[in-house]
Structures are given as structure tokens and as C-alpha cells.
């Protein structure tokens, strides 16, 4: 046998190589595990105390408990706004809940609550969206999240039955704001509405107020957004209670430490009788509907949809009725407002008696409202009593002035002219007859003579401010407009003469219905301007605080001048006046003034330019009664309502009758049987 040395040597070399590789592998594994053990020892020994502290660290968190909002009632204690018990779906997050479970839960709850999955997740506020992506939490983990108020019976049943499957979801009882609905709605825009604090602190109109009170409210606590709900928020909101909660570093609730009960909000009693307010709203709504359908020989009123009216008790400034038509159901803010709902209510959210509100363009889009006047229209001839009063007090005319109507009044260099309505020749005019027959030329004459005296714009503006026009009325309602003094701009751009001649009969100034009502009440009070008052008294647990009348300013004008102006206003509803027919059979003397303002409407075209679309006529009317001993002052504005004598004056008559029925323009209410109805007719011209 021959020994093969080469094969044996080769075999030894292979075994040696394998052995070395195994040793190397063991060495690598040893080093890896040694490093791992070393790292774990560092974590456990060096960092262990730190991590233990993080895992077990506890803190006390103070969470507000929402106080029940105070009620809103009419002057007689009839409840207008209250809190009702609502079954509410809530979500409580726990440590064990994973992303997958949260997404599962949202998908299960979505069809039950009839809410999109992404909206459910947004309300759950767990830090995930519908795609499972991380998003920023809004509120702490331990806070209970409201998913839906006012659950229906079948929703309650399903959620209750599936409680063991839908862990984290519960049904609880909570108080929610409730407003009157349907035909029982009352002063919707004046009362206002509520929304969650998280919305209010980011809304442009309310953020400045609420951001300063971040520690006061829960994110989902309902707070006032408009109307008295907002302007009296501090009164209605009450004092929140508080829970002190022990939570760990991960935000998990460990225990409830203590509870301080909330103090309910105070109750507000408004100044109007709900019977007067309700009938006033119904009267306006019915009249506008009729006006759209009734042929009018003078003006096309087929497109009229909006109307605004304010009635103020002259002795106190208390608002007896306030109508912004159309209105809407404010409970939509509690149920939830999607885009479709908002598109419908956007035309009626704003209170058109104190600020600009758009034309009700429904069913057309909002842009259609550009073709129509807003709630703030030129006041027309209702300004003429003030023009005459100013003319008398500035010695431009005398109480015994007689002037022949020129039919065409030329002013300045004679190139500009003014005529009366329909170019009528009104004959010989006195201050009183100029109001009775509503002369434009007489007012233009006063304005031109005022300009010749110097400082005319300042003088003109001063008188208007004394009577509440061009400044805020002081009514405690939010977002009140000061009005638009167009004559000031015209005086700068063209001339004082151009601005004031037009403004003297109401074509260069746009004010709110509230301003016009305050102006009317100031005429009735012979220069004493009172703050319009919407809240009569505030009721707390311990006391009732009555809101007293407040005089804002007074102007001294001789009694003779007042007599001239008021006599002229009384002649408006007498033979030869412009409001005879609407006040036929009215048992009280009335001091009034009709108004008709022409307004050119401009729309924006595709090229970005604004062009004249058409000219409309707006109806305005002011009055107080009884003329000798005023009790109630009324202002009415009907955009596109034609002549004041044909529409706004009838609404004012209706409001006087309604007030007289329940409150009384005399010593006591008349309370005639049956509803107040007035058949509108067109007076002969």
C-alpha cells in the first residue's frame, strides 16, 4: 500500500480552517452579547432611576367643570332660551388603546352616529387621522371628548348594547343650549347663539375676547358667539367648577382628587314682551310675502325678501320689538353645521338691525346678493326732520319761513340740480309743509346755505351724531356698525356742497335700523338721547339687578323749533301727507316721516371691473306715538321695498297696533279680539 501524503495534509488544513472560522464566529457572538449586556447595564444602572421617574411621575391637573348657562327670558319671565338634558356620545382614551384599535373604533362608531370617519377621529382627538397618520392633539389625553349631542333613541340603544365591544365609547347625560324652534322662534339674531370654546377662540370676531380666557373654559364648553349670548357672556356663563385629577406622565388618569361644584350662570330678562315680539316677527314675514306677490304701480317689489324693524320705548330706551327678517333656527349650531347647512343660513345669521346683513339670495349663491342692497340702505327722506331742525337752529330758516318750490332747484354754479319725487311742484312751502309733502328742494336749499356759512360738514355731522347717526347707538349687542357717512367722502372727493345737498334728503348716508330708531326716539324726547336697552334685569341666586335707563347725550334746541318739526311730522299722516292711508283709523296722533332712497347696484364682472347693474328703491319709515306724549318710537327699513309710503309705513302701523294690543300706547292695553291685520293699499299720488 502506498501512503498518499498530499491528501492527508490537505485534509488537516481544511479541519484547521473550519476550526478557526468557528472560533471567529464565537468571538463575534461573544463581543455582540457583551456589548448588549454592557448597554443594558448602563440603562439599568446609570439611567434606571431617570426612566423609573418618567414612568411613575405623577401630577395634579385641574380641569374646569362647565357651569350651566343662565336662562334668557322675556320681560314677563317667559323662557326664550334654556338648557335641556341631552344624551351625548363621549370618548375616553385609555393607555392600552393602539392605533389599530382607535381606527377600528372610529370605523365602528361612524355609521351609528352618522358621522364621517375622519370627523369621528377629529372629535376623538387621539393623534391619528383616518389614514392612520400622526396628527397633533388639541387637548390632553385624559379629557373626555364629546362626539355627538342629542342622540336619537336608536343611537343610544346601539351604543349601549355594544358597550363591551366599543370600549372607550359611552353615553352620558349633559345639559345643552336649546332655543325655541319653528313658529315659536324669538329674536333669533338678537339673542345670538353658542359654539364650543375651541371654535370661539379661533373665530375672527371673537378670538380677542376668548383667547384671554383660555384657563376659564373647557375646549368643548359652549360659549356665546353673537347677540346677548356673547355680549353678556360673563353674566350667562356663571362660574366654572373644577376637578383636580391625578395623572401620570403619559396622561393617564389615576384618580380624582377633589371636586368644586360650578355656580350656574345668571338669568337675563330681556326688555320685550314675547307676545309683542312674536307677533311683530309674524307680521313682518307675512307682509313681505304679500309685498312680493302684490302688483305695485310705482315700484317692482317682486324681489323684496328682507325687512328690519326696531321699536323703542321713548321714556326708557327699552327695546319693545326688534325684527331682522328672515331669521333661522339657531339650534343648528348645537346639532352641527356642515357646508350645506351653512350655505342656507348664511343669509340670515347677521342681525340686520345693527349691522350689514346680505340680501336673502336663496336658492341662488351668495354672489347673487351683490345685485341687491344689504340691510344698511340710504335712509331717504326720514332724515328731513333733522335737516329742518338743523336749519332752524343754525338760523338758516325761520319758523315762519315761506318759500316757493322752484320744481327744479339749481345749486352751485347752476349746473347741478335737484327735483322732488316725480318732479312735482309742491307750491308754497313752510318748514312744516316741506315735511308733510317731503320736499327735496327745500332740504337742498338748507344744505346750500349751510355750506355758505363754513365748517358745514363738521356742523352737519355734529347734528347727526347728537341724534345717534354716524356713531354707535350704545346698545349692548356685539359688532354694531357706526353706519356709513358717504357725504364725508363725497365732500373730500368732490365738494362739501355736492355731499351735503344729497345728504340733506338722505341720499349720502347709510345707517342701521337701530340708529334710525334711536334717532326717532331722540326726536320724540326733544334732544335727549337714551341708550337702547335690550336687557331689563339680571337675576342671580342672591339678587335681581334692574338695568336703569341711561342718557347718553342731550342737545339744547328752543321749544318753538321742536314744535315746528313735530307739527310737520304730524301732518305726514294727515290729508296731503305721504302716509295718510296706512294710518287711517289709528286712534292716536302720530309724528312720522316716510322715506324712499334710490340706490345703484354694482356687480363685479369677469374682467375685475365693477359696473352698474341696476337701480333699486328702498323703503324707510320712522314714527313715534302718541305725538303729544310719546311712548313708542319705530324705525322700519325694507330694502327694495319701493316707496316708504307703500311698504315700510304699513309695517310700522302693524307694530304700533301690536304694541297697543298688549302693552298700550295709552294708559292701558287695548287687547282687541283676534289678530291684528292691516290690508295694505297703494295711496293715490
* Secondary structure (H, E, C), 557-599: CCHHHHHHHHHHHHHHHCCCCCCCHHHCCCCCCCEEEEEEEEE
Q: What is the pLDDT of residue 40?
A: 57
Q: What is the pLDDT of residue 358?
A: 93
Does pLDDT of 32 surpass 70?
Answer: no
Does pLDDT of 615 surpass 70?
Answer: yes
Q: What is the pLDDT of residue 539?
A: 97
Q: Mind listing the pLDDT tens digit for each residue in 476-498? A: 999 999 999 999 999 999 999 99
Does pLDDT of 680 surpass 60?
Answer: no
Q: What is the pLDDT of residue 673?
A: 46
Q: What is the pLDDT of residue 242?
A: 83
Q: What are phi and psi of 28, to 5 degrees?
A: -60, -45
How much is the average pLDDT of 358-373?
A: 89
What's this model's pTM, rounded to 2 decimal places?
Answer: 0.85
**CATH assignment of 47-74+186-270?**
3.90.1310.10
Confidence band of 685 (pLDDT split at 50, 70, 90): very low
| Alpha carbons 286 and 280: distance in angstroms, whole number | 10
How much is the average pLDDT of 569-575?
A: 97
State yes or no: cis peptide before 257, omega within 30 of 0: no
Q: What are phi and psi of 660, to 5 degrees?
A: -65, -35
Q: What is the pLDDT of residue 30?
A: 64
Q: What is the pLDDT of residue 54?
A: 47
Output b/e per residue, 280-294; b: 16+ Cβ within 10 A.
Answer: bbbbbbebbeebeee
Do 618 and 506 form a contact (C-beta atoms < 8 A)?
A: no
| Residues in a beta bridge with 624 | 591, 633
How much is the average pLDDT of 236-252?
A: 81
Confidence band of 425 (pLDDT split at 50, 70, 90): very high
Q: What is the pLDDT of residue 289?
A: 94
Q: Which is more confident, 611 or 650?
A: 650
Q: What is the pLDDT of residue 562?
A: 99
How much is the average pLDDT of 132-157?
A: 87
Does pLDDT of 652 surpass 80?
Answer: yes
Does pLDDT of 41 surpass 70?
Answer: no
Do 626 and 649 form a contact (C-beta atoms < 8 A)?
A: no
Does pLDDT of 633 surpass 50?
Answer: yes
Confidence band of 612 (pLDDT split at 50, 70, 90): confident
Q: What are phi and psi of 67, to 5 degrees?
A: -80, 140
Confidence band of 301 (pLDDT split at 50, 70, 90): confident
Do 147 and 109 form a contact (C-beta atoms < 8 A)?
A: yes
Does pLDDT of 605 surpass 90?
Answer: no
Length of the chain: 685
Does pLDDT of 31 surpass 80?
Answer: no
Q: What is the pLDDT of residue 13?
A: 60
Within 8 A by CB and 6+ apart from 139, the residues are 125, 145, 219
Q: What is the pLDDT of residue 185?
A: 96
Confidence band of 366 (pLDDT split at 50, 70, 90): confident
Q: Which is more confident, 472 or 16?
A: 472
Confidence band of 50 (pLDDT split at 50, 70, 90): low
Do 121 and 129 form a contact (C-beta atoms < 8 A)?
A: yes
| Alpha carbons 221 and 382: distance in angstroms, whole number | 45
How much is the average pLDDT of 662-668?
A: 90
Does pLDDT of 330 surpass 80?
Answer: yes
Do 243 and 62 form a contact (C-beta atoms < 8 A)?
A: yes
Output b/e per residue, 111-122; b: 16+ Cβ within 10 A.
Answer: ebbebebebbbb
Q: Compute the half-sphere exposure of residue 19: CA atoms within 13 Å on the CB side of its CA.
A: 6
Burial of 553 by CB count in 10 Å (0-12 exposed, 13-18 middle, 19+ buried)? Answer: middle
Q: Which is more confident, 505 or 21?
A: 505
Q: What is the CA radius of gyration of the chain?
A: 36
In this predicted structure, which of 71-80, 543-552, 603-612, 623-632 has the lowest mean pLDDT? Answer: 603-612
Q: What percent of the chain has pLDDT over 70?
A: 88
How much is the average pLDDT of 624-637?
A: 98
In this predicted structure, which of 84-98, 269-283, 383-397 has the lowest mean pLDDT? Answer: 84-98
Q: Which residue has the cell 306715538?
A: 625
CA 397 vs. chain centroid, Å, equals: 43
| Alpha carbons 177 and 156: distance in angstroms, whole number | 20
Closest of 569, 567, 579, 588 to residue 659, by C-alpha: 588
Cell numbers for 136? 397633533
State the chain's mean pLDDT as an integer.
89
Amino acid at each position: 500500500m502506498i501512503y498518499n501524503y498530499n491528501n492527508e495534509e490537505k485534509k488537516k488544513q481544511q479541519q484547521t480552517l473550519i476550526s478557526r472560522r468557528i472560533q471567529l464566529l464565537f468571538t463575534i457572538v461573544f463581543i455582540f452579547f457583551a456589548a448588549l449586556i454592557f448597554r443594558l447595564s448602563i440603562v439599568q444602572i446609570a439611567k434606571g432611576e431617570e426612566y423609573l421617574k418618567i414612568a411613575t411621575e405623577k401630577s395634579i391637573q385641574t380641569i374646569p367643570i362647565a357651569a350651566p348657562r343662565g336662562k334668557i327670558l322675556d320681560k314677563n319671565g317667559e323662557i326664550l332660551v334654556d338648557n335641556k338634558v341631552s344624551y351625548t356620545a363621549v370618548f375616553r382614551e385609555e393607555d392600552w388603546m393602539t392605533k389599530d384599535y382607535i381606527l377600528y373604533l372610529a370605523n365602528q362608531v361612524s355609521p351609528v352616529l352618522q358621522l364621517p370617519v375622519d370627523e369621528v377621529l377629529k372629535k376623538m382627538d387621539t393623534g391619528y387621522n383616518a389614514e392612520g397618520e400622526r396628527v397633533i392633539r388639541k387637548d390632553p389625553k385624559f379629557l373626555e371628548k364629546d362626539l355627538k349631542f342629542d342622540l336619537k333613541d336608536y343611537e343610544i340603544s346601539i351604543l349601549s348594547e355594544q358597550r363591551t365591544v366599543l370600549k372607550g365609547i359611552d353615553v352620558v347625560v349633559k345639559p345643552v343650549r336649546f332655543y325655541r324652534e319653528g313658529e315659536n322662534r324669538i329674536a333669533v339674531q338678537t339673542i345670538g347663539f353658542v359654539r364650543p370654546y375651541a371654535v370661539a377662540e379661533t373665530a375672527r370676531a371673537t378670538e380677542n375676547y376668548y383667547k384671554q380666557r383660555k384657563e376659564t373654559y373647557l375646549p368643548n364648553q359652549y360659549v356665546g358667539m353673537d347677540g346677548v349670548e356673547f355680549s353678556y357672556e360673563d353674566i350667562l356663563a356663571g362660574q366654572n367648577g373644577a376637578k383636580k385629577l391625578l395623572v401620570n406622565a403619559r396622561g393617564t388618569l389615576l384618580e380624582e382628587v377633589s371636586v368644586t361644584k360650578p355656580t350656574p350662570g345668571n338669568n337675563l330678562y330681556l326688555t320685550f314682551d314675547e307676545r309683542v315680539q312674536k307677533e311683530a316677527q309674524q307680521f313682518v314675514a307675512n307682509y313681505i310675502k304679500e309685498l312680493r306677490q302684490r302688483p305695485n304701480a310705482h315700484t317692482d317689489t317682486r324681489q323684496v325678501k328682507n325687512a328690519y324693524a326696531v321699536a323703542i320705548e321713548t321714556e326708557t330706551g327699552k327695546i319693545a320689538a326688534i325684527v331682522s327678517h328672515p331669521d333661522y333656527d339657531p339650534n343648528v349650531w348645537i346639532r352641527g353645521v356642515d357646508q350645506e347647512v351653512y350655505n342656507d343660513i348664511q343669509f340670515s345669521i347677521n342681525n340686520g338691525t345693527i349691522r350689514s346683513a346680505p340680501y336673502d339670495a336663496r336658492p341662488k349663491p351668495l354672489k347673487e346678493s351683490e345685485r341687491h342692497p344689504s340691510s344698511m340702505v340710504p335712509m331717504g327722506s326720514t332724515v328731513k326732520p333733522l335737516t329742518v331742525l338743523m336749519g332752524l337752529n343754525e338760523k338758516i330758516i325761520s319758523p315762519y319761513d315761506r318759500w316757493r318750490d322752484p320744481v327744479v332747484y339749481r345749486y352751485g354754479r347752476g349746473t347741478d340740480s335737484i327735483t322732488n319725487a316725480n318732479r312735482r311742484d309742491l307750491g308754497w312751502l313752510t318748514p312744516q309743509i316741506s315735511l308733510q309733502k317731503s320736499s327735496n328742494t327745500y332740504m337742498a336749499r338748507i344744505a346750500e346755505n349751510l355750506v355758505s356759512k363754513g365748517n358745514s360738514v363738521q356742523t352737519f355731522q355734529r347734528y347727526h351724531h347728537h341724534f345717534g347717526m354716524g356713531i354707535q347707538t350704545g346698545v349692548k349687542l356685539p359688532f354694531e356698525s357706526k353706519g356709513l357717512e358717504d357725504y364725508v367722502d363725497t365732500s373730500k372727493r368732490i365738494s362739501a356742497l355736492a355731499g351735503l345737498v344729497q345728504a340733506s334728503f338722505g341720499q349720502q348716508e347709510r345707517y342701521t335700523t337701530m340708529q334710525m330708531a334711536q334717532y326717532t326716539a331722540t326726536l320724540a324726547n326733544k334732544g335727549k338721547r337714551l341708550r337702547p336697552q335690550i336687557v331689563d334685569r339680571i337675576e342671580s341666586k342672591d339678587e335681581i339687578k334692574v338695568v336703569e335707563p341711561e342718557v347718553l347725550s342731550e342737545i339744547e334746541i328752543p321749544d318753538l323749533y321742536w314744535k315746528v318739526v313735530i307739527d310737520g311730522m304730524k301732518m305726514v299722516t294727515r290729508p296731503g301727507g305721504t302716509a295718510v292711508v296706512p294710518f287711517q283709523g289709528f286712534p292716536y296722533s302720530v309724528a312720522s316721516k316716510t322715506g324712499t332712497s334710490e340706490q345703484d347696484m354694482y356687480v363685479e364682472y369677469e374682467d375685475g371691473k365693477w359696473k352698474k347693474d341696476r337701480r333699486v328703491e328702498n323703503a324707510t319709515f320712522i314714527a313715534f306715538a302718541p305725538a303729544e306724549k310719546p311712548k313708542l318710537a319705530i324705525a322700519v327699513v325694507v330694502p327694495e321695498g319701493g316707496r316708504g309710503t307703500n311698504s315700510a309705513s304699513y309695517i310700522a302701523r302693524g307694530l304700533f297696533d301690536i304694541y297697543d294690543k298688549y302693552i298700550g300706547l295709552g294708559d292701558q292695553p287695548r287687547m282687541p279680539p283676534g289678530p291684528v291685520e292691516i290690508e295694505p293699499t297703494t295711496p293715490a299720488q
